Structure 1
Amino acid sequence: MNKTPLPNLNTLEKKWYVIDAADQRLGRLASEIAMILRGKNKPTYTPHLDTGDFVIVINAQKVVVTGKKSEQKLYRRDSGRPGGMKVETFNKLQARLPERIIEHAVKGMLPKNTLGRQLFTKLKVYAGGSHPHQAQSPSNLVLNTIPGGEN
Structure 2
Amino acid sequence: MTRSTPMTRSIQTALILLALAGPAFAQSSHQGHGGHGAAPAPGAGAPKGQMGAGTGMMNMDSMQSMMKTMMPAPGDTASTKDFKSADMKMMHDMAVPYTGNADVDFRTKMIPHHQGAIDMARAALAYAKDETTKTLAAQIIKDQEREIAEMREWLSKNAPK
- Structure number with the bigger relative contact order (C-alpha 8 A, sep ≥ 6) is 1
Bigger Cα Rg: 2
Higher helix proportion: 2
Greater per-residue strand proportion: 1
Q: TM-score, normalised by structure 1?
A: 0.31
